[in-house]
Structure 1
Amino acid sequence: MSKGLAAKNLTLSYGSSTIIRELNLIIPHGKITVLVGSNGCGKSTLLRSLARLLKPRKGCVLLNGKEIAKQSTREVAKQLSILPQSPSAPEGLTVLQLVKQGRYPYQTWTRQWSVEDEAKVNWALQVTQMSALAEHPVDSLSGGQRQRAWIAMTLAQDTDILLLDEPTTYLDLTHQIEILDLLYDLNVQQGRTIIMVLHDLNLACRYAHHIVAIQNQQVYAQGRPEDIVTEQMVEDVFHLKSLITTDPLFGTPLCIPQGKGKNNGKKSLTATGS
């Protein structure tokens, strides 16, 4: 594979605890890939390693055909950007100041702030609908606005690959859909490769071209949502019985988890789904 991200025999650990073991993975270029799995399965750890934020114990990550560990930080930062989970900004930092940080990989002693840098920052603010809030402190914004500001920073970095760790965490349903719609548009209109960790399996099915399910330190299954999201997969990966039906709006898999609810478990899933 010469373009995009891949993992080869990747083993990741924190101290003596192994999180991912001998994992092999190819991220489809120009598509939206979502990592799913139960809490603690290693999704975020894997994402950090793909971004060269965590050194493998064994194996390697390949970025555009080359080992990412052998590339310079500046070189990597021009090819991929990452939005970590729950990022924080210094008190009083404005949206504009935050977004400008996305251009730091392009600054050198011989190349200072340029017209191109200014254009990229303005474009990132515009596409995320944050231009009107450019002079507002980041810590004064709502959750959805803050997330848009951070996404604007990653966009200003102008990379072909975007990695996002739970970009919808702590957001209400409206803001979740707004953020995912924004990322979907970036993929469709600009061909950006987007890799996300999401907890909501139904949203993952709705937005992803490719899903990677992590279980027991390995890839349990990967492929189109329609091909891999089954009742057996949900039970094995999430330890949950469910009914898989079809989303009436999008035609993607829709997971209905088994639970007691108001009927105290008296009606079967099969009956309620028929």
Structure 2
Amino acid sequence: MGSLQTNELTLSYGKEPIISDLNLSVPEGKITVFIGSNGSGKSTILRSLARLLKPERGSVLLDGHEILKLSTKEVAKKLAILPQSPESPEGLTVYQLVKQGRYPHQSWLKQWSKEDEEAVKHALRATSMTDFHDRPVDALSGGQRQRAWIAMTLAQGTDTILLDEPTTYLDLSHQIDVLDLLFSLNRVEKRTIVMVLHDLNLACRYADHMVAVHDRNIYSQGAPEDIVTKKMVEDVFGLSCDIHMDPIFGTPLCVPHGKGRQLLKEKKFTEKQRKATLVPE
């Protein structure tokens, strides 16, 4: 397993820091999920962990070594990243896409091998994409396309996979499908999964370790049942809510206080106001 941590990490895209003095250790062999409001810096942290963003100060350590001092191939053999809404060249097939995951293992002396072919086949099987191997990626549905990209990161053969909002633009059914796949990769293949999610309730269902990002640093971190509280949701998301137990998974379930519905319930809307605002009966 590869360890991933930060030391006094400060990140910015200009003069104003987005993340300041961040100390974080990603649990090995677990599913870690970053949550927080838009613009809080979740994706920025993920990009830095993948060596896609140079720190203003501090460092990211991979297996105890400063990640910026490692070669691109060294990093690519230990961790893979799937950015938000990746795009592939027109006409590229699923097999060709997944095959790209093996490029870090290629060299002038070591060309395509039986080991590479087996890694690609395994990735296709693990993501249930074998039957689509000759299909153009741009001809797939959103859920199938995301599975193809995950297969590519899986073929890379890394212990750690980073994913930036892997359920973006997917309907609920495909969101669950993708998250179930990642859960399986973690439990069956022991991959360390680190991802950014917007949906707090889905994050609670799938995360072993949750990191709430707010005000340029970590607001709280730990198991969902330990950190997801009414106060955390209000402070981090600016949202009033109740926290219940998910009846199926036993994880925290956030139920927002809908202001419009509450006003309607209290009969503070007149019939005219109700029609004007299109609030359903």
Tell me if the contact between 2:2 and 2:160 (Cα under 8 Å) persists in the aligned partners. no
Query: Which residue number in structure 2 is paired with residue 168 of structure 1?
Result: 167
Gaps of 5+ in 1: 268-274
Q: Counterparts of 1:33 and 1:168 in 2: how far apart (Å)?
A: 15
Tell me if the contact between 2:161 and 2:191 (Cα under 8 Å) persists in the aligned partners. yes
Q: Secondary structure at the match of 1:213?
A: strand
Shift of 1:15: 2.1
Tell me if the contact between 1:259 and 1:265 (Cα under 8 Å) persists in the aligned partners. no
Tell me if the contact between 1:260 and 1:266 (Cα under 8 Å) persists in the aligned partners. no
Query: Which residue number in structure 1 is paired with residue 51 of structure 2?
Result: 52
Q: Counterparts of 1:259 and 1:136 in 2: how far apart (Å)?
A: 44
Q: Counterparts of 1:265 and 1:257 in 2: how far apart (Å)?
A: 16
Q: Secondary structure at the match of 1:245?
A: strand
Shift of 1:191: 1.1
Query: Which residue number in structure 2 is paired with residue 187 of structure 1?
Result: 186
1:178 equivalent to 2:177? Answer yes
What's the CA shift string for 1:101-137, capped at 9, x where partnerless?
A: 0000000000000000000000101111111111111
Query: Which residue number in structure 1 is paired with residue 118 of structure 2?
Result: 119
Tell me if the contact between 1:3 and 1:65 (Cα under 8 Å) persists in the aligned partners. no
1:63 equivalent to 2:97? Answer no
Query: Which residue number in structure 2 is paired with residue 216 of structure 1?
Result: 215
Q: Which amino acid aligns with 1:34?
A: V
Query: Which residue number in structure 2 is paired with residue 13 of structure 1?
Result: 12
Gaps of 5+ in 2: 267-281
| Number of residue pairs aligned between Structure 1 and Structure 2 | 266
Q: Counterparts of 2:238 and 2:30 in 1: how far apart (Å)?
A: 28
What is the identity percentage for the equivalent residue pairs of Structure 1 and Structure 2?
Answer: 66
Query: Which residue number in structure 1 is paired with residue 22 of structure 2?
Result: 23
What's the CA shift string for 1:54-96, capped at 9, x where partnerless?
A: 0000000011111111111000000000000000001111111
Query: Which residue number in structure 1 is paired with residue 73 of structure 2?
Result: 74
Q: How does 1:137-148 map to 2 (within 5 A)?
A: 137-148=136-147
Q: Which of these two proteins has the greater Rg computed from alpha carbons?
A: 2
Tell me if the contact between 2:225 and 2:251 (Cα under 8 Å) persists in the aligned partners. yes
Q: Which amino acid aligns with 1:70?
A: K
Q: Counterparts of 1:211 and 1:228 in 2: how far apart (Å)?
A: 8
Q: TM-score, normalised by structure 1?
A: 0.95
Q: TM-score, normalised by structure 2?
A: 0.93
